[in-house]
Structures are given as C-alpha cells and as structure tokens.
Amino acid sequence: MKNDPERAPPSTAILGGGITGLAAGWELLKRNSEASFQIFEAAPRFGGKIITRRMEGCLLEGGPDSLLTEKPWALDLCRELGLEDELLPSNDHQRSFSILHKGTLHPFPAGCKLFIPQKTLPILTTPLLSLPGKLRMLMEPFLRHRPPEGDESLAEFTRRHFGQETLDRLAGPLLGGIYGGDPETMSMEATFPRLRELERKHGSLVKGMAGMMRQAKSQLKQGQAPSLFTSLRSGMEKLPETLTEKLAGHLRPDHTVQIIEKDGDGWRVDGERFDELIVALPARQAAPLFAELDPELSQRLNRQTSSNSATLSMVFKRGDVSPLPSGFGFMAAHPLTGLLVGCTWTGNKFEGREAEDRFVCRAFLGGPHAADLIRDRNESALIDQGLAALRDICPFIPETPLATWLQPWPDGNPGYTLGHLEWVEDLRRRAEALGGLHFIGSSFEGISVSDCARQAKTLSKSHFV
C-alpha cells in the first residue's frame, strides 16, 4: 500500500510474532517511525522457534543454532539492530562432520562441496560407499543428464547424477536434514534451485561446481573465506529479544487470533480494524482463520505437509566424556533406522557455549520412528530413547547428563514438496484477489531465519513504500 500524505497512515495487523512477524514489524518501522501496526502473538514470549536457554552455565538452543552466512538477510538485520558485536562465526578450523551408517560414524568425504565431489581420492577411499557406489558417483561428469521439464524431487535429481548410494549416504542426510523432509517428495525447484541452475548451465554438477568454486576463490582474492555459520554470542534469542525492545508499543503477546473478517477494503482481526493484513504464521496454523471467509484458501493452506522433530540438548561433566569428539557432529544416513537424525557437538561448533568443566551436545530426533512420540510430546520417552541411541553410537557419552532440555517441534518443519512454488503462487493470487493480504514466513519462500527476514524485507519494499 502506497502512503498518501492526505490520508492517515495505513494500519497493519501482523499475525505471528516469530522472526518473520517481528522482522515485518521492523521493516515497517524503518520505513516510517510513525507506522501504525500491531503484532499479534499467541505465546507470552516473542521469537517463535528461536528459543535459547542457559543450563549449568552453558548456552543451549532449542530451535535454530545459527544463520547460514551465505544468506545475508538475517545478518543485515542483526547489523541494523546494532548487534554487530554479537555476531559469532563458527569454528571452521574444526569443521568436519560424519555420517552415521549401519551403526558406525564415517567422516564425510573431504573435498566435497555440499555432496558434490571435487576430489577423486577421498571418494575412492571412503568406507561410506561401496565400490559400485563410488564408481557411479565419479562417473557423473561423463554422463549425459536430461533434466525433466517441470519440478523434480531431491531424490530423483541426486539419483540421476550420482546414484542411490550418494542419495542415501550424502545428499539425503545433508540436504534432506536441513528441511527435515523426505528427499523423495522434496521439491528441487523450491529448495535447491541453484543446483538445478548449475545443471541447466553445465550439465554436470561436478563440472559446474568446480567452475563456481574457481570463481568464488578468485573473488575472495587474498581475503579470508567467511565462516559457514554465524550465531549470536548471547544466543539466537538475542535477535527476537532486540526486535521486541525496538517494537515496544506494537506488541500484543498472549493473543491467539481467532477470527479474521473482511471489512470493506480492509480487515478485522478479532473485531479490530486494519487496512492491511500480514499473515506470518505457518500455513496450517493460518488455515482455520480463513475457513469462514474463504474456504478454498483455507483448504489450500491446510494442504502443506509438515514433519515432526525435536532437539535434545544435554549437558555433561566434561571430565566424564572421554575421548572428547572432534568436528561439528554427525547426520544419519537414509533410510533412518531409529529416532536419531543427527547430533551437534555444540562447543566444537561455536566458542563460548560451554562452561569450563561442561560438555554440551544437541541431538536431533525425528523421522518415522520419532513421529508419534513428538506428536504426543512424550518427553521422558524421547529423552531416554534419544540418549540411549546416542550412547549406542558414541560410547564416550556418559550415562547420566547433568541437565537435559527436550524441545519438541510437532509439525515444526514445513514440507517443501513437489509443486511447492505453484502452491505459493496460487496463494499469492488468492491473497491479491482478497486485497491487502500477504503471506510470509517459513511455510512459503524459504525456511531459514535469513529467508524469513528476506521475505519481510521484500514485502515491505514492494507494498509498504
């Protein structure tokens, strides 16, 4: 909506006080310090999935633990908020991780960019792949690749290029893990469009990636490569906390929005009138709000699939962990055989997370074997089974943690399934037809914190000038 100097500034309701809703509020405030808007949040606290706790003098994350440095929008937001000094790069000198396959941890082959091999020897010598699996992977530059016309799943894309073993043991855990999704149904166009682009340009991903890396190296010149991940020294929750301080006067905590109605050109949110409506909720949580007003829209929002996950943070006495593990942690190969999807050695990844005599790790639980327990929020079973599964693989983990924090995320990971981009486009058209309605957030155009910040910024630039 364009500002008309003759009229009162438009008022905006923002539903959801996760990072998307907060970033949307910040963008409105940046453009106009007199902006009129309210952010409705069901919980007493703002931040949604970004949640940090301190236990035993250690800093633990229940949701995201970092920002991908390559995606600049969340980092830009931190800088705008004066959080420059808070930015904490990952310890990339220790960056390595393993793949759990048939009960054993194997180092992820060196020389891969993502899962795309750039060196032959580490592939030939890894115990993670069989000889036919290795040969199939290394044949990629010599094969002709015929991408399908439309969208394609991550699984099909990877199989076409590198075969099933690369999918199960490298690409699935690495890329599927980011989305907590099933590679067989994950949309390539919506999740990793740059890999599709690489294929369109070069045919072979190995060749395309080599070219990209040469270019990146020459652009960096003498400069040091930035760390892969960035976190905040006081914890990720510092970001929503700071936004909350800046947005005082615009916040409506403990308010679960129940009814949305159309009122002329504008909207009513639980009876209160606004000119514009920004819905920054997960799609399935937004669906019931539109059931009366636009049943078709509501059904379409409801169509998004989601998966369950949980983080299990554990603090141990450091002296009891022997030997101390190296690297950032591990991810489990597919198909998952238990509820353990992966684990991060928190203190190896970031400085300052652990008190001096403490050791912290964070297990990810999910997949079909954990779905019911997470949905039922069966915390004690998840803690017991999660710890037992971890100790099976890593006997150096002591039997009794000093503290545990189980954070379940039922339906916490939106499914970016085949046809996702068309689904988003359809929603956008329907929202436009209703007028003054916008859907942004992790369900729609990217799940990372940075993607959420980008969506807020883009919306504000295009509609709230």
Ligand X SMILES: Cc1cc2nc3c(=O)[nH]c(=O)nc-3n(C[C@H](O)[C@H](O)[C@H](O)COP(=O)(O)OP(=O)(O)OC[C@H]3O[C@@H](n4cnc5c(N)ncnc54)[C@H](O)[C@@H]3O)c2cc1C
Q: Distance of CA 31 to CAs 79, 250, 338, Å?
A: 17, 15, 49
Q: Give CB contacts under 8 A, 24+ apart, made by 175-179.
A: 175/114, 175/115, 176/334, 177/331, 177/341, 177/342, 177/364, 178/447, 179/413, 179/415, 179/416, 179/447
Q: Is the Cβ–Cβ distance between 308 and 410 less than 8 Å? A: yes
- Residues of this chain, 58-77, that bind ligand X according to CB under 6 A: 63-67
According to CB under 6 A, which one of 116, 449, 456, 459 is a site residue for ligand X?
Answer: 449
In this complex, which beta carbon is closest to ligand X, that of residue 205 or of residue 247? 247
In this complex, which beta carbon is closest to ligand X, that of residue 38 or of residue 309? 309
Q: Is the Cβ–Cβ distance between 272 and 412 less than 8 Å? A: no
Phi, psi of 286 (to 5 degrees): -80, -30
As a whole number of angstroms, the distance between CA 85 and CA 97 comes to: 28
According to CB under 6 A, which one of 128, 190, 243, 281 is a site residue for ligand X?
Answer: 281
In this complex, which beta carbon is closest to ligand X, that of residue 346 or of residue 448? 448
In this complex, which beta carbon is closest to ligand X, that of residue 204 or of residue 348? 348
448 is a site residue for ligand X (CB under 6 A) = yes
According to CB under 6 A, which one of 28, 441, 445, 453 is a site residue for ligand X?
Answer: 441
Q: Convert residues 10-39 into a mask of x (bound to ligand X by CB under 6 A) and - (unbound).
A: -----xxxxxxx------------------
Smallest distance, Å, CB 129 to ligand X? 27
Q: Is the Cβ–Cβ distance between 67 and 74 less than 8 Å? A: yes
329 is a site residue for ligand X (CB under 6 A) = no
3-class DSSP state of 411? strand
According to CB under 6 A, which one of 12, 285, 385, 417 is a site residue for ligand X?
Answer: 285
Smallest distance, Å, CB 350 to ligand X? 11
Total chain residues near ligand X (CB under 6 A): 37
**What count of residues does the chain have?**
465
In this complex, which beta carbon is closest to ligand X, that of residue 137 or of residue 251? 251
Smallest distance, Å, CB 213 to ligand X? 23
Smallest distance, Å, CB 441 to ligand X? 3
240 is a site residue for ligand X (CB under 6 A) = no
Smallest distance, Å, CB 214 to ligand X? 28
DSSP one-letter code for 176: I
As a whole number of angstroms, the distance between CA 368 and CA 308 comes to: 9
- Residues of this chain, 378-437, that bind ligand X according to CB under 6 A: 409, 412-413
According to CB under 6 A, which one of 77, 188, 447, 453 is a site residue for ligand X?
Answer: 447
The dihedral formed by the CA atoms of 170, 171, 177 and 179, expressed in degrees to the nearest 10? 180
What DSSP string describes 348-377?
A: HHSTT-S-TTEEEEEEEEESTTTHHHHHTT
* Window of 43-51, 94-102, 185-193, 397-405 that interacts with ligand X by CB under 6 A: 43-51
Q: Distance of CA 340 to CAs 180, 313, 369, 378, Å?
A: 12, 13, 9, 15
Q: Which strand (E) or helix (H) includes residue 271?
A: none
What DSSP string describes 137-175?
A: HHTGGGS-----SS--BHHHHHHHHH-HHHIIIIIIIII
366 is a site residue for ligand X (CB under 6 A) = no
- Residues of this chain, 288-327, that bind ligand X according to CB under 6 A: 309, 311
According to CB under 6 A, which one of 280, 339, 365, 373 is a site residue for ligand X?
Answer: 280
According to CB under 6 A, which one of 10, 24, 25, 48 is a site residue for ligand X?
Answer: 48
In this complex, which beta carbon is closest to ligand X, that of residue 72 or of residue 147? 72
283 is a site residue for ligand X (CB under 6 A) = no
Judged by the rule CB under 6 A, the positions of this chain that interact with ligand X are 15-21, 40-43, 48-50, 63-67, 256-257, 280-282, 285, 309, 311, 409, 412-413, 441-442, 447-450, 452
